[in-house]
Amino acid sequence: MSNKIGFTDLIDLDEGLKAKRKLLTVTSIILLALSFTGAQVQEANTFILKLKFANQNGLGILFVLSILFLMVRYYNYAKPYHDKLYERWTKRLLSKPHFYSHCPHSDEDDGIVADSRSSELDANMHQNVQRWDYSYKCGKPFVRYLVHVWGYNQHEDEDRMEQVNIYSRFGIKIYLVSIWLEAKEQFKSFFTHRENLDILAPYLLGIFAIASYYFSAELLKLLALLSPTVSK
């Protein structure tokens, strides 16, 4: 029996992450409940005294500020998992034939990763290059790169790197296909890899809760339209 701890197990065992996720989730759900139902918090009992809330609008702002603070605190704990999620979904993306494919019976490869190799790397690929790695990088909004790292010896500090802008190198058609495949992979990941929801769902809930507070009137009107009418 293997004792190796998987990625989802690491998330489940991280007590600090779970505590911050719970605080953010509960606070967001409370604000959602206030926004969707129009309920008001009249008072709260503490260990020292009883508080009565006269300014309901100020209470909503307090929840919004609390959610923003908790999202920052949660991100502090979740940052290593964000990096791991990024590494995992980009590797799955690069395994698609559009990006890279390799013939098991020869040294031939195909895809935009192979096509984006520099002339130096391509010329020495099967002779002097001892290692070659590639990755997918998200730059500024909607700017995507293919990054090549290769070395001629065992000293990694002497490795060479080249960053290729997909749009500049291949044009709009290949760029749009790459963006479409990326969007599909990220969307599918929410249903096929539970760690995505484990890490990202609290942010989505927090953002939705804040939006529901500022658009509560519109939400109540929408709920009134969706609610079944009872004939008397």
- The 10s digit of each residue's pLDDT in 62-91 is 889 999 999 999 999 999 999 999 999 999
Residues 32, 69 within the same domain = yes
Q: Which domain holds residue 113?
A: 101-184
Residues 128, 131: Cα–Cα separation, whole Å: 9
2 part of a folded domain: no
Residues 155, 203 within the same domain = no
- For 146-185, the pLDDT digits (tens) are 999 998 887 777 788 999 999 999 999 999 999 999 999 9
Residues 71, 27 within the same domain = yes
18 part of a folded domain: yes
228 part of a folded domain: no
- Cβ-contact 63, 213 below 8 angstroms: yes
Residues 105, 178 within the same domain = yes
- Please state the domain count of the chain: 2
Provide the pLDDT for residue 78.
95
17 part of a folded domain: yes
Token digits of residue 68: 């923003």
92 part of a folded domain: no
Q: For residue 109, how many C-alpha atoms fall within 13 Å in the half-sphere facing its CB? A: 18
Point out the least confidently predicted range of 171-180, 186-195, 223-232: 223-232
Residues 99, 93: Cα–Cα separation, whole Å: 8
Residues 167, 138 within the same domain = yes
85 part of a folded domain: no
Residues 148, 215 within the same domain = no
Q: Are strands 144-151 and 160-165 parallel, antiparallel or unpaired?
A: antiparallel
More confident residue, 206 or 217: 206
